[in-house]
Amino acid sequence: MRVAKTGLQPADPPLDTNDPSTPIGAAAAAAVEALTMERRRPFPRPTRRRIITVANQKGGVGKTTTTVNLATALAMHGCRVLCIDLDPQGNASTALGVDHRSGVPSIYEVLLGDRPLDEVIVRSSEADGLYCAPATIDLAGAEIELVSVVARETRLRRAITGLRQDVDYILVDCPPSLGLLTVNALVAAKELLIPIQCEYYALEGLGQLLRNVELVQAHLNPELRLSTIILTMYDSRTRLADQVVHEVKEHFGSRVLGTTIPRNVRIAEAPSYGRSVLTYDPASRGSLSYLAAAREIAERGFEPNGVGL
């Protein structure tokens, strides 16, 4: 009986995806070039300063993550940006690599000590043209202390009005509550950006936030408008996420950004290194999504006399 030879035949050499002479290599090179050009293309700068408050009293929806990464993306693409950390936890300050230990000049002194906002602003190493007004733990008692202060709801607006620093955008990161700190942020802003996570209970509590916005519009800041909804923590594998996206877009229409922010481990890891996801892992899905969202916000612009919330 003849036994067939079982010797292994020499394998074909592996395809080199970096070789532009191969179809895969050429496609990869074209994709990298397109991505590089997109990342370098500057954003249009606004004709007037845009003040955007990022708020949602529901915790864990991505307020701070959204504030930090949008601010970084805008600054990376030619805009001058100030991020005001109004959350006593100081997570935005951490993510921007800014010192916010107790005793550091902070937004607390601005709200309660009449210290000029310019004196507490610190340059962030995340991008040229990016600045931060940090929050310290002292801010935790600010809501109680503000109760007896005259014109307590307008303290932040007065501070921003007196700002000498030339910036195109001011993004205000709010605590997960509807207290005096959030009210100050709503009174100071012309635009409201609400992050909504693509999960069950996504719209829970949103009605209360919008009622508070209506009260602020009626009594304290008639210029405030709900300009932007951004959908976060999107998981394309679940039907629920698509359902939430559909419901939010159906209700809020064109105010919902076309870009959704996916669940992405790099987004979660970046703050532990004192970084935004755009500098921590520029090629990650999370980074590219926030970059696209920031470009969308910049290119949309803002009409102060827009209708509706």
What are the tokens at 226? 């709900």
Predicted confidence pLDDT, tens digits, the chain (309 residues): 555 555 555 555 655 555 666 766 555 455 455 455 556 788 999 999 999 999 998 888 999 999 999 999 999 999 999 999 999 999 999 999 999 988 899 999 999 987 999 999 999 999 999 999 999 999 998 889 998 888 899 999 999 999 999 999 999 999 998 899 999 999 999 999 999 999 888 788 788 899 999 999 999 999 999 999 999 999 988 888 999 899 999 989 999 999 999 999 999 999 989 999 999 999 999 999 999 999 999 999 876 555 455
Sheet containing strand 225-232, edge to edge, reads: 122-123, 130-133, 81-85, 169-173, 50-54, 191-197, 225-232
pTM above 0.75, yes or no: yes
Q: How far apart are CA 119 and CA 283, in angstroms?
A: 35
Amino acid (1-letter code) at residue 304: P
Amino acid (1-letter code) at residue 191: E
What pLDDT, on the 0 to 100 scale, is given for residue 113?
A: 83
Query: 120 to each of 74, 103, 172, how far by Cα in Å?
Result: 21, 12, 15
HSE at residue 104, side-chain half, CA atoms within 13 A, is 18
3-state secondary structure of 82: strand
What pLDDT, on the 0 to 100 scale, is given for residue 307?
A: 47
What pLDDT, on the 0 to 100 scale, is given for residue 295?
A: 97
**Nearest to residue 127, comparing CAs of 75, 67, 166, 92?**
75
Q: How far apart are CA 43 and CA 74, in angstroms?
A: 7
Residues 6+ apart with CB under 8 A from 39: 282, 291
What pLDDT, on the 0 to 100 scale, is given for residue 304?
A: 58
**Nearest to residue 212, comparing CAs of 180, 178, 188, 181?**
178
CA angle 279, 267, 140 (to 5 degrees): 100
CA dihedral 36, 38, 44, 45 (to 10 degrees): -40
